[in-house]
Amino acid sequence: MTLPARRYRRVRITARIATLAVVALLTELAGADLPALAQGPGSAQGRVSPQGRVSPQGRVSPRASTTAAPTTWFAPLVPDGNSTNVRGDAGGLRLGANRAGPASIRSGRPEGMLLTAVHPLAQPSVAVTAELAADQPAGSAVAVDVRGPRADGSWTEWTTTSPKALAILGAAVTGVQARIVLRAGKGGVSPVVRSVRLTAQPGSQVLATHSRRPPSYRVFATREGLVGNTTANGHVIHERDHFVALPSRRGLAPRDSGDYTVKVCADNGRCEWAPVWDVGPWNTTDDYWNPSDVRQSWPDLPQGRPQAEAAYHDDYHDGQDQFGRKVRNPAGIDLADGTFWDGLQLHDNSWVTVTYLWTEGVWPAIVQIPALPVHSGPGEQYPMVGLAAQRAKLSVECTVAGQPVTGNQGRTSRWLRIGPKQFISAAHVSLQAVQQVVQQHVMQQRVMQQGQAERCATP
């Protein structure tokens, strides 16, 4: 294919995805005001109604298409810069040379993953299945996870799929990205993946009228440390680094991205906004921030309570994690050294409040410097109340004029409020572009939820 032809093909694909995003949004808007849908938040994995009904629990279910054919394709098993500790050869995809597992879980079992490019779909989809052909020696494992871009530009969570486990994405998406995770068996022997065949079922997501405020939970935080080790997404940890680890791959951001960002606040009033770049501590399938009908493991635990906390305090699961190790602290999040010491100014492992920002699904501001100061007002003369790490995606509540600042985005007097008495200069962030109709929809939803538009208050 010639270079102009490649450019033309990319333009066509981009245009198709943009068009489908608007279609998906209009589909959501069409269903948002139905009285029968005003019953509760979220979407449920595994509770699918082909008629698009809401379940008795108030969850949202997909509306399947009765005429359109599904989209099927094979995932290219070719590692690139976004892949971690995997290599491909004539036999298939296998683990690379790194003999250590993800830093935070400290399992010592080699792991790796391949991240594919987003595959554009002919029409919006809400559900995906996968057929895996692989050699899996004793003790080894291969998982296929998928996600897709929502109409507002944010991502759904990663969801594991197989021929027997339909992945319900929780939104109508216009493209699907796959993540193939390999874990070594006994003696470090690698599984070999020969092919992955994906099928996206056409359908639309009917939205319930519910609060889009991201959930916040109080969990125990530990300092990760481990400088020089490699995280689950392939990031090499450096001194005073800024990121966090959560005990589930569902919220693991690709390397150097903030697709999944948390806000962590300490009892001293300090907060840091940081991307999720590692998996752990203790577990890898404990998405405790999700409701029980979505939670991947231990759905009998209350939403917001990590399995490690229950194991440590209540001897839940015989006091062990998913790997059979004795749980020696109740941690539900690990903090990189810079987040721990500089962002939160902690001196010891502590209880913190964590907000899982990606669940809100709004367009963000993306931090473009290593550590962006957060002030209590729109100017550097106000006290600093925390940091926002590079690549973190921040929900912007409103803007206000303040002290002029020069940064890598130019000189501006615009300041962005990202929380109560929490402001950052727009000179150091890029704003993710979205369709104007999407922006209007999100703002209308916020006004409906809060009862009235909130003024951008300053100290």
* Segments of the chain assigned to CATH 2.40.40.10: 212-360
Helices of type H across 92-213: none
Longest dimension (CA), the chain: 63
Tell me if residue 292 falls in helix, strand or coil: coil
Residue 252 CB neighbours (<10 A): 27
State whether the Cα torsion 114-124-285-47 is positive or negative. Answer: negative
Using an 8 Å Cβ cutoff, are 33 and 52 in contact? no
Residue 422 tokens, joined: 């929490």
CATH topology of domain 212-360: Barwin-like endoglucanases (2.40.40)
Show the tokens assigned to 443: 């703002």
Q: How many C-beta neighbours within 10 Å does residue 295 have?
A: 21
Residues 56-100 have pLDDT tens digits of 333 444 555 556 789 999 999 999 988 999 999 989 999 998 877
Q: Phi, psi at residue 395, to the nearest 5°?
A: -80, 125
Amino acid code (one letter) for 220? F
Instruction: Look at the domain 16-205 and name its fold.
Output: Jelly Rolls (2.60.120)
Residue 78's identity, in one-letter code, is: V
Q: How far is CA 22 from the centre of its chain?
A: 22
Please tell me the pTM assigned to this model: 0.82
129-180: pLDDT as tens digits: 999 999 999 999 999 999 999 888 889 999 999 888 899 998 899 999 999 9
Contacts of 216 (CB under 8 A, 6+ apart): 353, 354, 355, 356
Domain limits, CATH 2.60.120, in the chain: 16-205
Query: Which pairing describes strands 331-335 and 216-223: parallel, antiparallel, or unpaired?
Result: parallel
Question: Cα–Cα distance between 307 and 283 in angstroms, integer?
Answer: 8
Per-residue pLDDT tens digits of the chain, which is 459 residues long: 444 444 434 444 444 444 444 444 444 434 333 222 222 333 334 433 333 333 333 344 455 555 678 999 999 999 998 899 999 998 999 999 887 778 777 777 899 999 999 999 989 999 999 999 999 999 999 999 999 998 888 899 999 998 888 999 988 999 999 999 999 998 889 999 999 999 999 987 544 433 468 999 999 999 999 999 999 999 999 999 999 999 999 999 999 999 999 999 999 999 999 999 999 999 999 999 999 999 999 999 999 999 999 999 999 999 999 999 999 999 999 999 999 999 999 999 999 999 999 987 666 799 999 999 999 999 999 999 999 999 999 989 999 999 999 999 999 999 999 999 999 999 999 987 543 334 444 444 454 444 333 457 655
